[in-house]
Amino acid sequence: MDYKNAGVDIEAGYRSVELMKEHIKKTMRPEVLGGIGGFSGAFSMEAIKKMEKPTLVSGTDGVGTKLKLAFLLDKHDTIGIDCVAMCVNDIACAGGEPLFFLDYIACGKNYPEKIAQIVGGVADGCAQAGAALIGGETAEHPGLMPEDEYDLAGFAVGLVDEKDLITGKDMKAGDTLVGIASSGVHSNGFSLVRKVFSMDVKTLGTYHEELGTTLGEALLAPTKIYVKALRQVKEANVRIKGCSHITGGGFYENIPRMLPDGVKAVIKKDSYPVPAIFGMLAREGQIAEEMMYNTYNMGIGMVLAVDAADADKTVAALQAAGETAFVIGEAAAGEKGVELC
């Protein structure tokens, strides 16, 4: 009896690491010290010398049950982008610059090529965010997970000068709310998605004219990473007063997190086009509108609060960064919460 007979293939683990290295190389930043394969990742903090009050910000998250679609379609090259996005978007929301990222993959059986595809997606996400992938862990769990399944989670650390933290405390009635378009469902609400649509290859592989793609492709579209877009707004000398990453809980749970007491967000539903995938979800699942806005991003992945005088400049900066942005509402006096009209 040996470890391989018990279900853990050490040699496969070695091969996975070797296959990962090519992907990881493209995420390197000058601050990364040493290479991949050590017991920890080292990152120089020389940059903090340039700040008045350097502050670390961090985020951790996973991909959730969206992974089930990746298993069914045997497509694993973009799911890592979702994992990175869920972490670094939260850091950017606080005004931080993501520095480095670590991933954790738990699998029933280590298939090196599949693991490399997953990490390739993680590396793509890190490259989009400007973060270095400095380490991670792949754990083989025979008997605990099915051989062809895995779970994926990550952890990111960023840096911001305390004076540049986005807290929402200075928001006031009359501020403009700018929404940045999402790429679709992103990585939340998939337990409901999986109840609405049959989870089989035929259903997911069916092309829909209203989507312009197959259902599976629409649902697996990777989460947008907004790090560079928010940096572009800052470089345009716009002060972002509040920022909300629209994840699980949709508009009703996430937007209030950026609001101070006595301020509500008034969102105009017709101020932007809602992507077709949400209409299909609501129709096929007979989901009430309030529940849709309480579960999904409804086409807006990030909401920024800026002074009304900076609204046009903000939209222009986001467009220059390659994003689609809309003025979707305003802050108003009232009980903290969201009002859709």
Q: How confident is the model at residue 9 (pLDDT cuts 50, 70, 90)?
A: low
Quick one: 128 and 230 in the same domain?
no
Q: What is the pLDDT of residues 108-122, one digit of tens each?
A: 999 889 999 999 999
Q: Which residue has the higher pLDDT, 55 or 35?
A: 55
Residue 297 shares a structural domain with residue 335: yes
pLDDT at 1 over 70: no
Whether residue 79 is found in the same domain as residue 192: no
Please check the confidence at residue 156 and state whether its pLDDT lies above 70.
yes
Residue 19 and residue 118 in one domain: yes
Residue 2 has what pLDDT? 42
Is 226 found in the same domain as 326? Answer: yes
166: pLDDT strictly greater than 90: yes
| pLDDT confidence tier of residue 7, bands split at 50, 70 and 90 | low
Structural domain containing residue 294: 176-340
> Which residues, 6+ apart, have CB-to-CB distance to 198 below 8 Å?
none
The model's pTM:
0.92
Look at residue 18 and tell me if it is in a domain. Answer: yes
188, 317: one domain: yes
Question: In angstroms, what is the C-alpha Rg of the chain?
Answer: 21
Position 96 scores a pLDDT of 96
Does residue 145 register a pLDDT over 70?
yes
pLDDT for 209 beyond 70: yes
**CA dist list (Å): 163 to 49, 151, 189, 284:** 15, 37, 35, 47
How big is the CA angle at 169 (ends 57 and 340), to the nearest 5 degrees?
A: 105
Q: In what order do the strands lie in the sheet with 54-62?
A: 54-62, 150-161, 97-107, 132-140
Q: Is residue 331 domain-shared with residue 197, that is, in the same domain?
A: yes
Asked if residues 244 and 338 have their Cβ atoms less than 8 Å apart, the reply is no
pLDDT score recorded for residue 40 = 74
Q: What is the pLDDT of residue 20?
A: 65
Q: Does 4 fall in a domain?
A: no
Question: If you average pLDDT over residues 241-257, what whole number do you get?
Answer: 96
Banded pLDDT at 47 (limits 50, 70, 90): confident
pLDDT of 3 strictly over 50: no
Task: Say which CATH number the domain at 222 has.
Answer: 3.90.650.10
**Residue 154 within any structural domain of the chain:** yes
Residue 210: pLDDT above 50?
yes
Please report the pLDDT score of residue 325 as a whole number. Answer: 97
**58 and 146 within one domain:** yes
Domain count, the chain: 2
Residue 170 counted as domain residue: no
Average pLDDT of the chain to the nearest whole number: 92
User: How does pLDDT run across 250-307, given as a tens digit for each residue?
Assistant: 999 999 999 999 999 999 999 999 999 999 999 999 999 999 999 999 999 999 999 9
